[in-house]
Structure 1
């Protein structure tokens, strides 16, 4: 695997929104809501607790963790 170069800029709200939408559409998260403060409310399951994420970087970190977990638990990986 070729390593990615380090990010040259901070995470943007648009990038975080796009990932949040993908995670919900793929049913990897139940819900995400961006607050006017730039924080995010995230719920894994309909009856699960709601978590507060502080900003776009936290959404991207969550997306990376979910993606890594999903790929590492696939059969044959």
Structure 2
């Protein structure tokens, strides 16, 4: 697997919001909510605990972790 290139700028709120929407729509997260402080509240399961993420960078890190997990457990289709 190729290493991810380093980012040149900090993730934007819009980018984090887009990733959060995809994760919820694909049912990889139950909920993701941006609060006025810039923190994100995420919940993996309806009755599960709510995690507090510090900001947009943490949302993108969570999305990357979920993607990595999905790709590592999925059988190769090549």
Please tell me the root mean square deviation across aligned C-alpha atoms, in Å. 1.3
What TM-score do the two structures reach when normalised by structure 1? 0.93
The whole-number CA distance in structure 1 between the counterparts of 2:67 and 2:10 is 20
* Structure 2 residue aligned with 1:63: 63
- Structure 2: 5+ residue runs without aligned partners? none
User: Which runs of at least 4 in structure 1 moved beyond 4 Å after TM superposition?
Assistant: none
Q: What are the ranges of 5 or more consecutive residues in structure 1 without an aligned counterpart? A: none
* Residue 76 (structure 1) shift: 2.7
Instruction: Count the aligned residue pairs.
Output: 77
Specify the alignment match of 1:21 in structure 2.
21
State TM-score, norm by structure 2.
0.92
